[in-house]
């Protein structure tokens, strides 16, 4: 049997000292990595974390909420509400060329069959895409090509302005195969 010790190490129980382990909340002056800060904002499981810049990150999960945090202080900076079901994907998105300001943007997908582009500096929705027939389960940005892709039952290719370029239907959750490709240059 193994006994876990603060600091990530482990020793066989027979070799470990008999003194009680420190619990969270006790002073731990020698090891700064054991200090924990509980960030409270979500009401359900957090499934996604993404770094926005050197001082901020965003979290999202099953409560359908995206929270922007100050990574140094743990302060909740923004709460982004717009999805009605759990978040299924979260990625950073390059600033739009049309915008004079270079604000940090994120793209979120949800089980509510929508994708939302958010401005993480203001908290506003920049654009919402709701033309999906099923849940979007993954997102990726190919910045060099100025496109992004969404995956689920359909694989869709989009431009940076969120215009659909190509859509290919694949397997559904039931395993039924459909082949359809619509290319719109």
pLDDT digits (tens, 9 = 90+) for 96-126: 665 555 688 999 999 999 999 999 999 999 9
All residues at 6 or more sequence positions from 168 whose CB lies less than 8 Å from its CB, including other chains: 154, 155, 156, 179, 180, 181, 182
**Collapsing DSSP states into helix, strand and coil, what is residue 167?**
strand
Least confident of 56-60, 153-157, 174-178: 174-178
Whether the Cβ atoms of residue 67 and residue 49 lie closer than 8 Å to each other:
no
All residues at 6 or more sequence positions from 138 whose CB lies less than 8 Å from its CB, including other chains: 88, 89, 109, 150, 151, 152
Mean pLDDT estimate for the chain: 79
Residue 48 CB neighbour total at 10 angstroms: 16
Distance CA 104, CA 111 (A): 24
What's the whole-number mean pLDDT along residues 67-91?
A: 94
The CATH superfamily holding the domain 37-183 is YVTN repeat-like/Quinoprotein amine dehydrogenase (2.130.10.10)
Q: Is the pLDDT of residue 142 over 50?
A: yes
Q: Is the pLDDT of residue 151 over 70?
A: yes
Whether the Cβ atoms of residue 77 and residue 70 lie closer than 8 Å to each other:
yes
All residues at 6 or more sequence positions from 5 whose CB lies less than 8 Å from its CB, including other chains: 11, 16, 21
Rounded to two decimals, the pTM is 0.72
Q: Where are the domains of the chain?
A: 1-36, 37-183
């Amino acid at each position: 049997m193994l006994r876990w010790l603060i600091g990530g190490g482990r020793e066989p129980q027979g070799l470990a000292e008999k003194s009680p382990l420190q619990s969270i909340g006790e002073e731990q002056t020698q090891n700064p990595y054991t200090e924990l800060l509980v960030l409270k904002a979500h009401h359900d499981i957090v499934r996604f974390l993404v770094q926005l810049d050197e001082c901020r990150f965003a979290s999202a999960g099953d409560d359908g909420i995206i929270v922007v945090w100050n990574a140094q202080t743990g302060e909740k900076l923004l709460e982004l509400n717009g999805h009605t079901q759990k978040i299924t994907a979260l990625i950073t998105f390059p600033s739009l060329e049309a915008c004079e300001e270079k604000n940090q943007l994120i793209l979120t997908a949800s089980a509510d069959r929508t994708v939302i582009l958010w401005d993480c500096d203001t908290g506003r929705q920049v654009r919402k895409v709701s033309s999906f027939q099923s849940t979007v389960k993954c997102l990726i940005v190919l910045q060099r090509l100025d496109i992004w892709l969404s995956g689920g039952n359909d694989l869709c290719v989009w431009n940076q302005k969120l215009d659909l370029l190509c859509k290919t239907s694949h397997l559904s959750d039931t395993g039924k195969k459909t082949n359809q490709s619509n290319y719109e240059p």
